[in-house]
Amino acid sequence: MKIISTQEVVREGKVIVEASYQNELKKMYFILVSPNTAVVTRATDFNPELVNRQYYGKEVIPSEFTHLGQSYTVVGINDGAFNGCNKLTSVVMPNTVTTIGRYVFMECTALKNITFSNTLESIGYESFVQCSQITSMDFPASLQEFWTDVFKDCSSMTSMTCRATTPPHIIGSTWEMNNQIIQEIKVPQASVEAYKAAPVWSIFADRIVGY
């Protein structure tokens, strides 16, 4: 993704950048969180009059971008960044992203494919609620934690792969996912028993298999 131009606004003490790309037909929005880092955010954070459905089709998040001569590394995705973008079909995250916030892909009903960062550590509350087209997810070895209801109402999701050798901590006491739909959870072969014994993961012990 080659960014063509940028502009900024300041709202509630936050610097928010609109970055135009693909011949300025598409735009992505960022909050600058430090002198050299940024997170993807909602269109409405930049301009409250915009509809928060600016993201569509395949979105490739850049690992970095330049604004006013300064380079910023993209390290996360802010709360609700893609919420309600019902024409979004796939997302590719750069390997600089370590966190996904709350409600990030909520009600992205056309979303089918997500390529996660291989340094991703944390996934926030209800991040994928009602992503009804997703059939499987493949989480990187770096994942350390996520919330129980992250997959709530993902009505087509039948499998997932978690590559972390230590079972990620699941925040909450139950797993808000239809346990009649999920059929298989693939984990590293040497970690199968650890996953089967881990809190919350143990709910799906009979479906945890090694790869």
Same domain, 85 and 164: no
User: 126 in a domain, yes or no?
Assistant: yes
User: 148 in a domain, yes or no?
Assistant: no
Same domain, 22 and 115: yes
User: 150 in a domain, yes or no?
Assistant: no
Which structural domain, as residue segments, surrounds residue 203? 158-211
User: 8 in a domain, yes or no?
Assistant: yes
User: 152 in a domain, yes or no?
Assistant: no
Same domain, 110 and 189: no
Same domain, 170 and 118: no
Which one of 69, 101, 134 terminates a domain?
134
| pLDDT tens-place string over residues 48-99 | 988 767 789 999 999 999 999 999 999 999 999 999 999 999 999 999 999 9
Under 8 Å between Cβ of 36 and 70: yes
User: 37 in a domain, yes or no?
Assistant: yes
pLDDT confidence tier of residue 147, bands split at 50, 70 and 90: confident
Q: Give the separation between CA 166 and CA 144, rounded to whole angstroms.
A: 8
Which one of 102, 134, 166 terminates a domain?
134
Residue 179 has pLDDT above 60, yes or no: no
The pairs formed by 197-200 with CB atoms below 8 angstroms and a separation of 24 or more are 198/167, 198/170, 199/170, 200/148, 200/170, 200/172, 200/173, 200/174, 200/175
Question: Domain tally for the chain?
Answer: 2
User: 142 in a domain, yes or no?
Assistant: no
Question: What percent of the chain has a predicted confidence (pLDDT) above 70?
Answer: 95
Give the pTM: 0.93
Same domain, 99 and 194: no
User: 65 in a domain, yes or no?
Assistant: yes
